[in-house]
Structure 1
Amino acid sequence: MALIQGIPGEFEPQPWGEAILRSHRLLLLRIARRPADDEVRLPGLVTMPLHVVEDRTGKALTWRRDGADLVVRLPDSGDPPVVRVALQGKLRIVPPDTVTANADGVWDVTPLGTTAHLVARRTAAVAIRFVGMVAPDSRHQIRLAGRRCGVTGQQLTRTTIGPFPMPADRVVPLAVPTGVRRVLVAPVGTVLASIHPGRDEITVVVTNFGRTPVRGEVELPLPPDWSASEQFWTFDGLEPGRSVGWVTRVAGPDGDHELRVRLEAGRRSASSPYVIHL
């Protein structure tokens, strides 16, 4: 993949100190804790540096790019310096919560706040399925990739929303309504199987991100020494934008385990893996 295009933003606190934006094209790296190897890594810097110097002396410092990270070698001795990074353009970053689509072009996001950041591997028209609890009569504006869509709370959690034109290799923010605990995004035309854990069981959900009704077969393969009350289901006439789900009780050894549904619903069938904790 080419270098991902970032978005305007700010850096979070780093293990070695903090990065402060002095102007659109100047960063100061305040080193509070010198790394053992004397190398400072600033993750997610998309804008190419023009030069990197020690702020007090103006001495040029050795630096390199590692993917979207900037790595700077500090002077071998002396007090922790302040590093001045002049940029070739305005600051653009890749936020740490950025999620890249999987090989099927699908995002499965557990939001950490009110905004999620997505990157597509290829250009595609996508739709969004929000999972959570919101007031049915509430109103929401969904914005993604320069397009917006107004929906009620009932529409928000009952059907897919879109389409939205997702560009390739560019970080795109998505506002997440309060009450949403999971976001599924898939190319239009996809039939997606996902796993949703509950207290004593899991729910296997199939969502039709396409434009025509679909039918298919669903299987929940299990690791050795596992059991489930049900593992096979069929469905017919699943309308565009809608979902159907089945609840099954599972039992297995303690620990973290990845499960993935096997779905047969045409050539655009996709499955999102999920790690459950027993």
Structure 2
Amino acid sequence: MALIQGIPGEFEPQPWGEAILRSRELLLLRIARRPPDDEVRLPGLATTPRHVVEDHTGRALTWRHDGDDLVVRLPDSGDAPVVRVALQGKLRIVPQDSVTANADGVWDLTPLSTTAHLVARRAADVAVRFVGMVEPDSWHHVRLAGRTYGVTGQQLTRSTIGPFPMPALRVVPLAVPTGVRRVLVAPVGTVLASIHPGRDEVTVVVTNFGRTSARGEVELPLLPGWSATDQTWTFDGLDPGRSVGWATRLTGPPGDHELRVRLDAGRRSASSPYVVHL
């Protein structure tokens, strides 16, 4: 059985061909290009197969689950067969852009489309922080895990939104409003440090996902040979749902480098790493 519960959907075209849903519980794999190792991998199948057979002959085929992928061993003949996959329930998939929360239960997303797909390691109430540029007077419905909040554009990018009851090990879609370039999701109670690059500097931001005000100390550790105009900051009285930030200019060797803020704001402190390009 797949570890993650998927969502209704369809499969994208595959390197070997296509997967077609013939009925609610029947999937056909049309093999147009036979893989060199004679194994077909269908990524993100969350529904357990009942049986897998060659469509033309009814011959049973060897298959296995590899995480959330279905792997089918094709028959030895040189033909490109059609594989019939009977499912134990309705088709549910794990989209390829699904992102599992890190060890702190945090998602730090740079969305590439209008929908993000989140998977929680464990059930928790979470809140969402959108970063970007939207019209302050616009109106948005933020939906996640069966709960919806209506907010203005100003509220959307100025404070956290929630709570949302995230279930464990289930794909949950989140609509991303136009103009949003970063999405932070964290368990309620978390105080989260994140890094946001600019043209000539980076901004270290602390967001309070908790229900009470927060205080703490922030440090941006640097590798040998690096320098920054500022590296340490303190904050006090950070209200629930709000953020505070400090800009600093970095110098260092060219290339991509991962930075992580050191945050001391109590036991629910968390820090999201970010790769900056110099």
State the TM-score bracket (shorter-chain normalisation): over 0.9
- Please state if 1:102 is matched with 2:137: no
Unaligned regions of 5+ residues in structure 1, if any?
A: none
Which residue matches 1:176? Answer: 176
Which residue matches 1:51? Answer: 51
Q: Quote the Cα distance in structure 2 between the aligned partners of 1:32 and 1:247.
A: 53
Per the TM alignment, residue 196 of structure 1 is displaced from its structure 2 partner at its CA by 0.6
Which residue matches 1:149? Answer: 149
Which aligned pairs between 1:73-92 and structure 2 lie closer than 5 A?
Answer: 73-92=73-92
Deviations 1:239-269 (A, max 9, x none): 1100001111112222221110000111100
Which residue matches 1:211? Answer: 211
Per the TM alignment, residue 95 of structure 1 is displaced from its structure 2 partner at its CA by 0.6
Q: Quote the Cα distance in structure 2 between the aligned partners of 1:197 and 1:49.
A: 45
Which residue matches 2:64? Answer: 64
Q: Quote the Cα distance in structure 2 between the aligned partners of 1:214 and 1:272.
A: 18
Which aligned pairs between 1:106-145 and structure 2 lie closer than 5 A?
Answer: 106-145=106-145
Which residue matches 2:276? Answer: 276
Q: Quote the Cα distance in structure 2 between the aligned partners of 1:16 and 1:67.
A: 20
Which aligned pairs between 1:10-29 and structure 2 lie closer than 5 A?
Answer: 10-29=10-29
Deviations 1:149-194 (A, max 9, x none): 0000000000000111111111111111111111100111110000
Q: Quote the Cα distance in structure 2 between the aligned partners of 1:39 and 1:166.
A: 35
Structure 1-normalised TM-score?
A: 0.97
Which residue matches 1:249? Answer: 249
Q: Aligned letter for 1:242?
A: R
Deviations 1:24-74 (A, max 9, x none): 111111112111111011111111111111112222111111111100011
Structure 2-normalised TM-score?
A: 0.97
Deviations 1:99-152 (A, max 9, x none): 111111111111111111111111111110000110000000001111100000
Q: Aligned letter for 2:35?
A: P
Which residue matches 1:193? Answer: 193
- Please state if 1:260 is matched with 2:265: no
**Helix, strand or coil for the counterpart of 1:58?**
coil
Which residue matches 1:36? Answer: 36
**Helix, strand or coil for the counterpart of 1:155?**
helix
Q: Quote the Cα distance in structure 2 between the aligned partners of 1:31 and 1:162.
A: 45
Q: Quote the Cα distance in structure 1 between the aligned partners of 2:21 and 2:133.
A: 38
Q: Aligned letter for 2:105?
A: G
Q: Quote the Cα distance in structure 1 between the aligned partners of 2:223 and 2:58.
A: 59
Identity %: 85
Unaligned regions of 5+ residues in structure 2, if any?
A: none
**Helix, strand or coil for the counterpart of 2:263?**
strand
Per the TM alignment, residue 228 of structure 1 is displaced from its structure 2 partner at its CA by 1.2
**Helix, strand or coil for the counterpart of 2:157?**
helix
Per the TM alignment, residue 227 of structure 1 is displaced from its structure 2 partner at its CA by 1.5
**Helix, strand or coil for the counterpart of 2:156?**
helix
Q: Quote the Cα distance in structure 2 between the aligned partners of 1:12 and 1:182.
A: 25
RMSD: 1.0
Q: Aligned letter for 2:195?
A: I
Q: Quote the Cα distance in structure 2 between the aligned partners of 1:225 and 1:136.
A: 42
**Helix, strand or coil for the counterpart of 1:7?**
coil
